[in-house]
């Protein structure tokens, strides 16, 4: 086991025991290992995840998204404190694909959720997304498992709603919450296509003071908009409500709806069905990413693709034939390499 | 060249010359070759497509979708005749993934668009989708190229709006038309999620007699619904209108909007940009399908995947590790086979 000792790493069992006891320091250090790209860390990470796997899963996983300015941090701070008052332990993972400066983010996050960060029952961590969507699923997905094994029973995964990570987060959560603002004109401007369809609940934040009337109007507008989508397999009809995180209005309503949702999907079997589906889908996503990596990772292939793109635009070759040609090259190179 | 002569096939040049002269019989026979799964036909198809490629592209490609009962056949018949009156030559390809009985479909289609089918300027053909989405793109996509080379300058590609082929069709057309009906309750019930977002125009059909008032209401409802989606890259704002194909009301309006669209996107450069993007994407879709086929086509892999799915649900292995394991097996088997 000495091989793990590089870079001040502990034995796997120390991380595992620490996580299972709810030790925040060891949890954080284990997450760092999950996020690391060092080969030795990858081996260590796999051993830790494998060991805590049977202790994971006992939580409700909630995706929270909304564009910058919607008041996400304040919402999560107030919402998190409300959950802790109800006896829960809350882990908050935030994904910001636009920022790879993870140390900066940690500081930023702790500052912007100051009160929550000081509570023993809250664990706040920005989640490194890596360079790919696969990165979001794997690193954040495994971080969720670790947090659950450490005893956090509500997992909030926060994204900014303008990137590509929302689909990945939707694919790893039980409930998807969209924060919006009331405003004139095109209400959904800025939010990526398709996010509205994923929402189990839309909360119009900052519904206080002079904003109340406009928020009520926005609420009706969203209710109508959500109505045009076919019913979800979960049997749940998306809810729209108004809230003011800063005035602590409507926060309990959000949690009540999530509890109603959980009750419904536990009873109708969708909760387990969806979780199983997500886990298996996670494997397939990884397989498909790896397959692409095998192909597109080759420098030979890359330069040939450029030529083929040019030839296609100039109508020198059909797309079907171009694909066939390069797949043939790939098979050949694979066979040559393996000899 | 004798090798092509099996199954009563002609020389490639006979098909190619025939298509370029607008010979409908040779066009039909060439499309049959494109749809064939015989190895010798695949080679022949590639040669034909390659040769007509420089003569393809000179058309507007229009996707038309709507659930059964919306009056698609009548709409296309009336719309097609209108286009022919304006001096166009119209090819109509219909994709029905639920029916693989292509001979039955041919008969059905000819019957349901009887007047149009008798016009020299119209060419109607059900398009075999094959078993996969890739099948839709390749076979229908190459059929489009052949029709264009044969002088058809408006290509209508019809789908039923409840399957998975709409995204594929959207990916090979310039303009996407959604036919709907006015009705009480949830207007979009039955239409697949995401189709609304792809529409450049929504036509409420059967807007005649007692239906006119309800159709006007539905029009406003769709206008509001479309409003919530962010503006498309084309710079075009989707249009909603009412029509009655059976009474020939509002059909000219549809064509006028398509002409407006074409003018806009030719001027702003989106038309060419989108066409180039679609062609290149077509190659990448094929590459990715082939890669998956290499992997999932292996019987060994298939049985291992079943075991891994079970182990994942029982929390015996993490999805990440499961993927890694089976990709390792794949690489090994590839190397062994190639020796």
Residue B100: pLDDT above 70? Answer: no
Q: In what order do the strands lie in the sheet with A90-95?
A: A122-126, A90-95, A154-159, A60-65, A175-181, A201-205, A239-242
Same domain (yes/no): B47, B81: no
Domain total in chain B: 3
Does residue B243 belong to any structural domain of this protein?
Answer: yes
For residues A288 and B287, what is the distance between their CA atoms, to the nearest angstrom? 12
**How many Å lie between the alpha carbon of A42 and the closest alpha carbon of chain B?**
11
For residues B196 and B198, what is the distance between their CA atoms, to the nearest angstrom? 5
Q: Judged by CB atoms within 8 Å, which residues 189-208 of B form the interface with A?
A: 189-191, 193-194, 196-197
Domain end (from B267, B285, B313)? B267
Angstrom distances, CA of residue A240 to CA of A177, A179, B108: 10, 10, 46
Does residue B276 belong to any structural domain of this protein?
Answer: no
Same domain (yes/no): A152, A248: yes
Averaged over B172-183, what is the pLDDT?
92
Same domain (yes/no): B168, B94: yes
DSSP class of residue B167?
H
Percent of chain B with pLDDT over 70: 84
Most confident of the following: A123-132, B110-119, B207-216: B207-216
Same domain (yes/no): B221, B301: no
Domain end (from A13, A39, A55)? A55
pLDDT of the residue at B197? 82
Q: Would you list the DSSP string of A187-222?
A: TTTTSPTTHHHH-SEEEEE---GGGHHHHHHHHHHH
Residue A104: pLDDT above 60? Answer: no
| pLDDT band at residue B269 under the 50/70/90 scheme | very high
Per residue in A130-148, pLDDT (tens digit) is: 555 556 678 899 999 999 9
Residue B326: pLDDT above 90? Answer: yes
Do the Cβ atoms of A321 and B194 come within 8 Å?
Answer: no
Does residue B85 belong to any structural domain of this protein?
Answer: yes
The residue in chain B having the minimum alpha-carbon distance to the alpha carbon of residue A307 is B280
Phi, psi of A40 (to 5 degrees): -65, -35
Residue B330: pLDDT above 50? Answer: yes
| pLDDT band at residue B111 under the 50/70/90 scheme | low
Q: Mean pLDDT score of chain A, rounded to an integer?
A: 86
Do the Cβ atoms of A230 and B193 come within 8 Å?
Answer: yes
pLDDT of the residue at B322? 95
Most confident of the following: A131-140, A266-275, A288-297, A318-327: A266-275
Same domain (yes/no): B302, B328: yes
Interchain contact A316–B (C-beta under 8 A): yes
Do the Cβ atoms of B320 and A46 come within 8 Å?
Answer: yes
Beta bridge partners of B62: B156, B175
For residues B213 and B219, what is the distance between their CA atoms, to the nearest angstrom? 10
Question: Where would I find the beta strands (DSSP E) of chain B?
Answer: 60-65, 90-95, 122-126, 154-159, 175-181, 201-205, 239-242
Inter-axis angle of helices A270-296 and B299-313, nearest 10: 140
* Chain A residue numbers touching B310 (CB-CB < 8 A): none
pLDDT of the residue at A61? 98
Question: Which CATH number goes with the domain that contains B66?
Answer: 3.40.50.300
pLDDT of the residue at B231? 79
Percent of chain B with pLDDT over 90: 59
Closest CB to B315: pick one of A54, A138, A190.
Answer: A54
Does residue A290 belong to any structural domain of this protein?
Answer: no
Most confident of the following: A62-76, A271-285, B225-239: A271-285
Same domain (yes/no): B1, B109: no
Same domain (yes/no): B113, B261: yes
**How many Å lie between the alpha carbon of B114 and the closest alpha carbon of chain A?**
34
Domain end (from A227, A251, A267)? A267
pLDDT of the residue at A275? 96
Interchain contact A297–B (C-beta under 8 A): no
pLDDT of the residue at A260? 98
Question: Where would I find the beta strands (DSSP E) of chain A?
Answer: 60-65, 90-95, 122-126, 154-159, 175-181, 201-205, 239-242
Do the Cβ atoms of B228 and A335 come within 8 Å?
Answer: no
Per residue in B213-253, pLDDT (tens digit) is: 999 988 998 888 787 777 789 999 999 999 999 999 999 99
* Buried residues in A66-90 as b, exposed as e (16+ CB within 10 A): bbeebbbbbbbbbbbbbbbeeebbb
Least reliable range by pLDDT among A311-320, B124-133, B158-167, B291-300? B124-133
**How many Å lie between the alpha carbon of B257 and the closest alpha carbon of chain A?**
23
pLDDT of the residue at A184? 40
For residues A323 and B280, what is the distance between their CA atoms, to the nearest angstrom? 10
Same domain (yes/no): B49, B60: no
Same domain (yes/no): A44, A84: no
Does residue B273 belong to any structural domain of this protein?
Answer: no
Same domain (yes/no): A235, A153: yes
Q: A interface mutation test: which of B16, B135, B230, B287 has the most A CBs within 10 A? A: B287
Least reliable range by pLDDT among A303-317, A325-339, B52-66, B144-158? A325-339
Interchain contact A269–B (C-beta under 8 A): no
Domain that holds residue A309: 297-337
Do the Cβ atoms of B315 and A57 come within 8 Å?
Answer: yes
For residues B158 and B94, what is the distance between their CA atoms, to the nearest angstrom? 4
DSSP class of residue B249?
B
Question: Which CATH number goes with the domain that contains A40?
Answer: 1.20.5
Residue A280: pLDDT above 90? Answer: yes
Percent of chain A with pLDDT over 70: 84
Closest CB to B197: pick one of A190, A193, A315.
Answer: A193
Does residue B272 belong to any structural domain of this protein?
Answer: no
* Chain B residue numbers touching A318 (CB-CB < 8 A): 46, 49-50, 53, 142, 145
Tell me if ipTM is over 0.85: no
* Buried residues in B279-291 as b, exposed as e (16+ CB within 10 A): bbebbebbbbbbb
Residue B256: pLDDT above 70? Answer: yes
Interchain contact B306–A (C-beta under 8 A): no
pLDDT of the residue at A66? 86
Does residue B77 belong to any structural domain of this protein?
Answer: yes
Q: Judged by CB atoms within 8 Å, which residues 140-159 of B form the interface with A?
A: 141-142, 145
| pLDDT band at residue B47 under the 50/70/90 scheme | very high
pLDDT of the residue at B186? 46
pLDDT of the residue at B107? 39
Least reliable range by pLDDT among A108-117, A179-188, A286-295, B88-97? A179-188
Q: Mean pLDDT score of chain B, rounded to an integer?
A: 86
Residue B3: pLDDT above 50? Answer: no
Does residue A276 belong to any structural domain of this protein?
Answer: no
The continuous run of DSSP H or E covering A144 comes out as helix A141-149
Residue with tokens 């969708």: A270
By C-alpha distance, which of B17, B41, B148, B35 is closest to B102?
A: B35
Per residue in A21-48, pLDDT (tens digit) is: 999 999 999 999 998 888 899 999 999 9
Size of interface A-B (CB pairs under 8 A): 167
Interchain contact A7–B (C-beta under 8 A): no
Same domain (yes/no): B258, B224: yes
For residues B75 and B83, what is the distance between their CA atoms, to the nearest angstrom? 12
Closest CB to B287: pick one of A283, A287, A323.
Answer: A323
Closest CB to B230: pick one of A53, A189, A318.
Answer: A189
Same domain (yes/no): B116, B101: yes
């Amino acid at each position: 086991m000495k091989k793990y000792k590089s870079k001040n790493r502990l034995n796997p069992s120390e991380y595992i025991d620490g996580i299972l006891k709810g030790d925040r320091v060891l949890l954080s250090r284990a997450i760092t290992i999950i996020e690391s790209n060092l080969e030795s860390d990858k081996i260590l990470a796999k051993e830790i995840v494998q060991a805590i796997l049977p202790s994971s899963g006992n939580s409700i996983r909630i995706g929270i998204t909304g564009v910058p300015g919607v008041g996400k941090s304040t919402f999560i701070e107030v919402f998190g404190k409300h959950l802790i008052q109800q006896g829960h332990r809350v882990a908050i993972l935030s994904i910001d694909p636009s920022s790879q400066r993870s140390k900066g983010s940690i500081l930023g996050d702790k500052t912007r959720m100051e009160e929550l960060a000081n509570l023993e029952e809250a664990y706040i961590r920005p989640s490194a997304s890596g360079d790919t969507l696969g990165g979001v699923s794997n690193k954040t997905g495994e971080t969720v498992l670790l947090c659950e094994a450490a005893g956090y029973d509500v997992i909030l995964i926060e994204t900014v709603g303008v990137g590509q990570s929302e689909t990945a987060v939707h694919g790893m959560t039980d409930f998807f919450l969209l924060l919006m603002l009331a405003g004139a004109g095109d209400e959904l401007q800025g939010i990526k296509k398709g996010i509205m369809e994923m929402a189990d609940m839309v909360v119009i934040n900052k519904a206080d003071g002079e904003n109340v009337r406009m928020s009520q109007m926005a609420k009706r507008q969203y209710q109508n908009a959500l109505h045009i989508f076919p019913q979800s397999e979960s049997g749940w009809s998306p809810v729209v409500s108004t809230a003011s995180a800063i005035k602590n209005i409507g926060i309990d309503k959000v949690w009540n709806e999530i509890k109603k949702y959980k009750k419904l999907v536990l009873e109708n079997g969708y909760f387990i069905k969806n979780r199983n589906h997500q886990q298996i889908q996670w494997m397939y996503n990884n397989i498909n990413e790896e397959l692409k990596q095998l192909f597109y990772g080759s420098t030979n292939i890359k330069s040939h693709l450029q030529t083929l793109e040019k030839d296609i635009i100039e109508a020198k070759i059909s797309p079907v034939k171009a694909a066939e040609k390069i797949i043939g090259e790939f098979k050949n190179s694979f066979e040559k390499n393996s000899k």
